[in-house]
Amino acid sequence: MLTLIHAPNSRSTRVLHLIHEMGIADRIRLQPVGIIYRDGSGAPDPANPHPEGKVPALIHDGTVITESGAIMLYLTALFPDSGLAPAPGTPARGAFLTWLFWYQGVMEPVMMAAAMGIHHPGLDRNFRGIDAANDRIRQALTRGAWLCGDTYTAADLICSSAYTFFPQFVPDEPAFRDWVARCASRPALAQAKAQDAEMSVLA
């Protein structure tokens, strides 16, 4: 059995979005949990099996998978016909894996630091910064409409989510703005948000 540990309007909404993109909502049980939100509201939930009390977590027959990118990789591999990930062995697969790991290891920390106004030469040397991160995406968008080429994948979903959290970092350039807007207007995202809104009312 597959269970998504989820809190409405949080990082786990990205996984809920992916689930709708993949058309597998009927295969996954949702377990809403409480978390502490960025504004300090909310509370940790003793029923949350995530080892740090965070979301998202995916439980597959008792195995706990955490980290949004790892969950996306796990689900797209488990349901390979869903069309949200290039198949292993294809040229786009390398780009896909790169984007997922780059997002977790570089982009999200860089965005968080920039949003909080944290600057340190060591951080800049290791992670570069928001301009370098934007540049990587900019370069990819000169090669295709989406990060892995001509097809929308989970890489677009997760990388664009950072700009939804922090729209101030979207460069004022048509190709960039258009990519963010196309990612934000996916019907599956609207479905995930509607489900979140329903859950928030019930909470």
Residue length, the chain?
203
Q: Least Å distance between CB 35 and ligand GSH?
A: 4
Of the pair 39, 81, the CB lying nearest ligand GSH is at: 39
Of the pair 22, 162, the CB lying nearest ligand GSH is at: 162
Of the pair 63, 139, the CB lying nearest ligand GSH is at: 63
Q: Least Å distance between CB 166 and ligand GSH?
A: 13
Q: Least Å distance between CB 10 and ligand GSH?
A: 4
Q: Show the beta-strand stretches assigned E in the chain.
A: 2-6, 28-32, 57-60, 63-66
Q: Which spans of this chain sit near ligand GSH (rule: CB under 6 A)?
A: 10-11, 35-36, 53-56, 67-68
The residue whose Cβ lies closest to ligand GSH is: 54
Instruction: Give the residue among 29, 83, 35 at the shortest CA–CA distance from 16.
Output: 29
Q: Least Å distance between CB 91 and ligand GSH?
A: 27
How far is it, in rounded angstroms, from Cα 155 to Cα 175? 17
Of the pair 151, 164, the CB lying nearest ligand GSH is at: 164
Exposure string for 154-187, b = 16+ CB within 10 A, e = fewer: bbbbbbbbbbeeeeebbbeeeebeebbeebeebe
